[in-house]
Amino acid sequence: MIAELLMVEQRSGDDDLDGAHWILEGGRILPGVDDNRRMAELRSGLLRHTGVRSVEADADGEDVEQTLSVLHDPEYLEALGEVSEEPVVMPELTPPGLPPDIPVSSGLVSAAREGVRTAITAAERLAEGSRFTYALCRPPGHHAGPAWFAGYCYLNTAAAAVQALRDRGVSPVGILDIDLHYPNGTAAIVETMTDASLYSLHASPVTNVAELTVTPSSEREHVVEFEGSPDAAEYLEALAASIDALAGSSRAIVVSLGYDIVAGDPHGSWGFSPEIFTEIGGLLAASGLPVCVIQEGGYALDTLATCSHAFATGLLGAPA
């Protein structure tokens, strides 16, 4: 049988104005680059592979609410539910020790909820027996913590997938975060899930947590940091070791997949070519485990389709 990748497509939110407004990075305010054009590029790259099949995100609203209530504080969810169309900064809802780096608006919250629906659907299909699923969701989620938003992230989609798997009896779950940035939100949320472990490979210095505070939050968190742009062989060796460890301890892997590790990413600093994702997909397929992919970052519009296609090729093999 030929392997198949189910690509779960996000529904539109309540508001068309759901692109990122701006982001504070390195002390400067930059225009936001997370919007639906990213999804269109990623989608076209995935669909170029004949083993990719599209399905709609169809988890019901109750499931979304129930899952979110496990991940985020009730006051936080309530505060997000009350924001208006106009983007607003909320210093009380930022990660410990950091200034606010993004605003929030009702359009972004609505898109984030649809992102969670997409992640839950991808997890559900995995629990029902699909080997590979891919939540094509935005905004990204891995910087969203129990009661904070940051770095384009408002609700934690990867943690939603983990919880949806646990709810359906798939446990223990391994999380592999290969976005360029450290998943401070995911780390904080899964810290209390004793049947989940987190492996992250990311750039150092870490820009999205307060200085000198990156320490694994538990023995179930493992971090590999690279100072400067790593060599591909060195990176893939560390990745293979992380996947091996997850394969030995988990029944399924949730992958927080960021394409911001390639050269030219507006929020990136590394020099990988898109073909690195063929290697990454191949290592994941070789693990033998079911893989639920959650879309995190990756903002270089001119290379995203090449990246997602390379990933599908690695995961599924080259089409016949």
258 binds Zn ion (CB under 5 A): yes
Q: Is the Cβ–Cβ distance between 292 and 252 less than 8 Å? A: yes
Min dist. Cβ of residue 267 to Zn ion (A) = 6
Instruction: Name the minimum Å distance from CB 226 to Zn ion.
Output: 14
Strand order in the sheet with 196-204: 52-56, 5-9, 132-136, 291-295, 252-257, 173-177, 196-204, 221-227
Strands (E), 139-290: 173-177, 196-204, 221-227, 252-257
Q: Which stretch binds Zn ion (CB under 5 A): 130-138, 204-212, 278-286, 290-298?
A: 290-298
Strands 196-204 and 22-25 come out as unpaired
Question: Smallest gap, in angstroms, from Cβ of residue 223 to Zn ion?
Answer: 15
For Zn ion, which is the closer residue by CB, 101 or 179? Answer: 179
If the CB atoms of residues 180 and 252 are measured against Zn ion, the closer one turns out to be 180
What part of residues 159-188 is at the interface with Zn ion (CB under 5 A)?
Answer: 179-181
CA–CA distance, 271 with 293 (Å, rounded to integer): 23
Asked if 251 and 170 touch (Cβ cutoff 8 Å), the reply is yes
Give DSSP secondary structure letters for 221-236: EEEEEEESSPPHHHHH
Least Cβ distance, residue 297 to Zn ion (angstroms): 3
CB of 143 to Zn ion, least distance (A): 8
> Which run of H or of E encompasses 136?
strand 132-136
Q: Is 297 in the site for Zn ion (CB under 5 A)?
A: yes
By the 8 A CB rule, do 301 and 38 touch? yes
**Residue choice 177, 260, 265, 279 for contact with Zn ion (CB under 5 A):** 260
Q: Which is nearer to Zn ion, 162 or 180 (CB)?
A: 180
Please tell me the count of residues contacting Zn ion according to CB under 5 A: 6
Residue with smaller CB distance to Zn ion, 132 or 270: 270
Give the binding site for Zn ion (CB under 5 A).
179-181, 258, 260, 297
